[in-house]
Amino acid sequence: MSMSRADARTLDAADPLRSCRDRFFLPEGVIYLDGNSLGALPLATVGRSREVVESEWGEELIRSWNSRGWIDLPQRLGAKIAPLIGAKPHEVIVADSTSVNLFKLIVAAAALSPERTVLLSEAGNFHTDLHIASGAAALARLRLDVVPRDEIEARLGPETNLALLTHVHFKGGYRFDMVAVTALAKAAGARVLWDLSHSAGAVPLDLNGSGAELAVGCGYKYLNGGPGAPAFLYVAEHLQERLISPLRGWMGHAAPFAFTDDYVPAPGIARFLAGTPPILGLAALEAGVEAFAGVPIEQLWAKSIKLFDLFAQLVAERCPDLLCISPPEPERRGSHISFSHPHAFEICQALIADGVIGDFRAPDVVRFGLTPLYLGFEDVWEAVERIRDILESGRWRDPTFAVRGKVT
Ligand SMILES: *Cc1c(COP(=O)(O)O)cnc(C)c1O
């Protein structure tokens, strides 16, 4: 039996996370299904950013490095992200971008087992991961082996130095079994570097329990840190003293303010800092992470599953031209739902014009992020109604929807 708008409202009324949406600024008339690409603005970010700019920077000036704790913010914020990913507080630090953190960890990890010469990754992995991997491999004298997803496990072997894998795929949402792949890699004597960009803040993660040793993740997606927010980096405790970042900046030095000529890595995770921490961006990310306060990730995930199932069911009933490419089983996917259609681009543009913001991923995928902190069941119901209307009316054929911008 199909679900009505009233049924969706009933689900919203019974949703224990319903009040969390009040933590966010959600523009009138917009159904935001792109929080997996750029998280919505937490209301607290506005006040926090203002305070950092006006009071901490404006009034307190340089004294804030000590008096307002700027200097430790990368570690403090890492410790706040740690429970979301199943890590210890001192195993996570916030620095640089995901791309840069990938570079640091690939090169650092490569040096641990120089006799192993292959960097393994997935064809169709997020492109920055593969681009960074190619550059890091060249510098670390590794051969980059990019293979189809279903061949990764079989390729883990005596030559594998490191496998660079994105836990939840940015396009289809397929998820690797972190426990199984980590164990396979370990049995082969190899390591895995997990990119958690589409997992952190959405999918339950237990890095420690999974035996994961290395990971990076994005600050501006589910963590709501704002455009270009700094990223995080995780190194398991037992590896920290053995890894040296190839970006030997002063902030990762054991004594940054001793101004010595020689590089001595800081103890622990701090050695993965390079330059001066971007305080404005870190403060915004801190407010983004605090938007999760009091919400167990398992509860978020339980709601994500329901949002996904509703979305998939309504599309199957009302929009038969859209083919769902995301796995139906929750344990095999992340928190977005993707569909293929030969005119995905135009459909996506027509939807945005209608206030339903999802995104297009080349060549033929339209993707919708399901962010349980601020998305409700009626939002999903209404979004699918508008998709149905656009498909049935053929409005997406309007030539203005075929015009491509720089960012799609
Ligand atoms: C979003 C994303 C990134 C982002 O990298 P930036 O350095 O922030 O541009 C990297 N990898 C994956 C898998 C992503 O989804």
* Residue 318 and residue 306 in contact, taking contact as beta carbons nearer than 8 Å: no
Give the global pTM: 0.98
| Residue 212 within a domain | yes
CATH number of the domain that 342 lies in?
3.90.1150.10
State yes or no: is 149 an active-site residue.
no
State yes or no: is 88 an active-site residue.
no
Query: In this structure, how many other beta carbons lie within 10 angstroms of the beta carbon of residue 148?
Result: 10
Instruction: Catalytic residue, from 221, 303, 333, 361: name it.
Output: 221
255 and 317 housed in the same domain: no
Atom of ligand 1 nearest to the CA of 37: 1
Residue 2's pLDDT is what? 81
Domain end (from 290, 320, 349): 290
Residue 1's pLDDT is what? 62
Is the CB of 99 within 6 Å of ligand 1?
A: yes
State yes or no: is 221 an active-site residue.
yes
Residue 132's pLDDT is what? 98
- Rounded-to-integer distance, Cα 54 and Cα 43, Å: 17
Instruction: Catalytic residue, from 103, 126, 234, 308: name it.
Output: 126
Question: Which residues does 94 contact at the CB level (< 8 Å), separation at least 6?
Answer: 73, 74, 77, 78, 81, 219, 230, 231, 232, 233, 277, 282, 285
Residue 149's pLDDT is what? 97
| Residue 63 within a domain | no
| Residue 22 within a domain | yes
283 and 394 housed in the same domain: no
| Residue 407 within a domain | no
Q: Report in angstroms the alpha-carbon separations of 195 from 10, 85, 109, 378.
A: 37, 12, 14, 32
270 and 320 housed in the same domain: no
Domain end (from 238, 267, 290): 290
* Residue 166 and residue 192 in contact, taking contact as beta carbons nearer than 8 Å: no
Residue 142's pLDDT is what? 98
Is the CB of 161 within 6 Å of ligand 1?
A: no
Residue 407's pLDDT is what? 73
Looking at the DSSP assignment, which residues form a beta bridge with residue 162?
119, 191
Could you tell me the distance, in angstroms and rounded to a whole number, from the CA of residue 132 to the centre of ligand 1? Answer: 11
Could you tell me the distance, in angstroms and rounded to a whole number, from the CA of residue 166 to the centre of ligand 1? Answer: 10
Query: In terms of residue numbers, what domain contains 187?
Result: 69-290
134 and 230 housed in the same domain: yes
Residue 131's pLDDT is what? 98
Domain end (from 243, 263, 290): 290
Taking 70 as the pLDDT cut, the residues of the chain under it are 1, 408
CATH number of the domain that 193 lies in?
3.40.640.10
301 and 272 housed in the same domain: no
| Residue 47 within a domain | no
- Total domains present in the chain: 2
Give backbone dihedrals phi and psi of 362, rounded to 5 degrees, phi first: -55, 145
The one-letter code for the residue type at 228 is: G
28 and 163 housed in the same domain: no
